[in-house]
Amino acid sequence: MYKNEIAREIGDWVKIVFKLADSMHKNFYENLTTREDVLKE
């Protein structure tokens, strides 16, 4: 909910960044992403 409030104030790009950060966090702990995946982005 907080991200939606921030997105309304500064732009919808916040939602995209939040999704990317959440994905990176999950992949870090579950070991789903390889080094090559990270370097590609």
CB distance 7 to 15 below 8 Å: yes
Does this model's pTM top 0.75? My answer is no
| Distance (Å, whole) CA 12 – CA 38 | 24
Those residues whose C-beta lies under 8 Å from the C-beta of residue 15, and which sit 6 or more positions away, are: 3, 4, 7
Tens digits of per-residue pLDDT, 15-39?
999 998 998 888 778 887 788 877 8
pLDDT in the model for residue 41: 55
Tokens of 35: 């080094």
pLDDT for 23 equals 85
Number of domains in the chain: 1
Q: Which ranges constitute the DSSP H helices of the chain?
A: 2-10, 13-30, 35-40
Q: Whole domain around residue 26: which residue ranges?
A: 2-40
